[in-house]
Structure 1
Amino acid sequence: MNILWDFDGTLFDTYPVYTRILSQVLGETADKQEIYEKLKVSYSHAIQFYNISSEQEDWIKKLKKEITPEDMKPFNGVEEILKFANKNVIVTHKSRKGVVDILKYYGWNKYFVDMVTKDDGFPRKPNPSAYKHLHEKYKITLAIGDRKLDLLPAKELGISTCIFQNQVDIADYQLQDYTEFF
């Protein structure tokens, strides 16, 4: 089995850190659960919803630079799936350096044969170009993501899909916890 993974919210539980940052920028009156839910749609959706100013965006960027790999905890059980797969690849809107730093911190860089990041020039998801590129190289059999936009490109290419900790009508499989996989 060759698996294409989303990064944020799929391999690593990054939303709590991003929720904390956005809450800090918006102020204590902002509802953290609502922030989390908006971020789960997409970062740009949350930015639009809260009408983030350019000054606030700069502050967010500054705070994001303070995030360490230790702040990005892997989901329980995901490493067993990485070991099980024949090949693992990543498609993410994160920077390559950010992804590699986190993977190295946890010793997980050995599990991935390739990745497409925001640095590679592909259009953002749900455009299927990055998925198509990796599918042609590795014959992907399953795409795992936590948002609908992570699954749409896979569906377009005929790849089976799995939604993690979410519910969408296009997913072939749904997981709330990776320990359910085995």
Structure 2
Amino acid sequence: MNILWDFDGTLFDTYPAYSRIFSHVLGGRAAEVEIYKKLKVSFSHAIDHYGLSEEQIDEMNRLEEKLQPADIVPFESVEEVLKLANKNVIMTHKDRKGVLAILQYYGWEEYFSDMVTIDDGFPRKPDAASYRYLHEKYGIDLAIGDREIDLIPANELGIRTCIFQGTSKAADYSLASYDKFQNIIDFDLLKKENL
């Protein structure tokens, strides 16, 4: 199975750190739990919702750059899923340097055959161009993301989708935790046997 992964909120639990930064920039005028919900839609959604100025966005970017790889924690059992896959690729709006620093910190760079980052010049999700590129190169079987915006491009290309810690009509599967991933594999094997 070849898997396309989103990064933030899918491989790594980055939203708590981003929510703290957002709250700091807002001067504490919004609860981190509420910010978290807005960020799960998208960063631009949260920025628009709270009406951040250019100066505040710049401050957020500066604070985000100060995050250390140790501040970004992988989700429990996700490494076991990475080991199960034939190939793993990443599509993220993060910069390549930041992604590589985190992967290297955890010793995970060996799990990934390729990645598309914001540095590669593809349009942002939900545009399917970056997914198409990775799919044509690797024959993606499953796309995993934590937001609907991560699944829409895969749907457009006919790739099965899995939403992590959420719900979406765009998802073929949903997972609350990665220790249940085997159920997806078993389900697909069962479907094939019944054909």
Band of TM-score, shorter chain = over 0.9
- Give the secondary structure class of the aligned counterpart of 1:88: strand
In structure 2, stretches of 5+ residues that fail to align are 183-195
Give how far 1:54 is off.
1.3
Percent sequence identity over matched residues? 64
Q: Which residue of 2 aligns with 1:154?
A: 154
Q: Write out aligned runs for 1:42-53 (5 A).
A: 42-53=42-53
Q: Which amino acid aligns with 2:149?
A: L
Partners of 1:32 and 1:73 lie apart in 2 by 18
Q: Which runs of 4+ in 1 moved over 3 A?
A: none
Partners of 1:170 and 1:157 lie apart in 2 by 12
Give how far 1:61 is off.
1.3
Q: What TM-score comes out, normalization by structure 1 length? A: 0.98
Q: Which residue of 2 aligns with 1:80?
A: 80
Q: Over aligned residue pairs, what C-alpha RMSD do you find? A: 0.7
Q: Which residue of 2 aligns with 1:24?
A: 24
Q: Which amino acid aligns with 2:32?
A: K
- Give the secondary structure class of the aligned counterpart of 1:171: coil
Deviations 1:108-137 (A, max 9, x none): 000000000000010000000000001001
Q: Which amino acid aligns with 1:167?
A: T
The aligned length equals: 182
Q: What TM-score comes out, normalization by structure 2 length? A: 0.92
Q: Which residue of 2 aligns with 1:131?
A: 131
Give how far 1:28 is off.
2.2
Q: Write out aligned runs for 1:32-47 (5 A).
A: 32-47=32-47
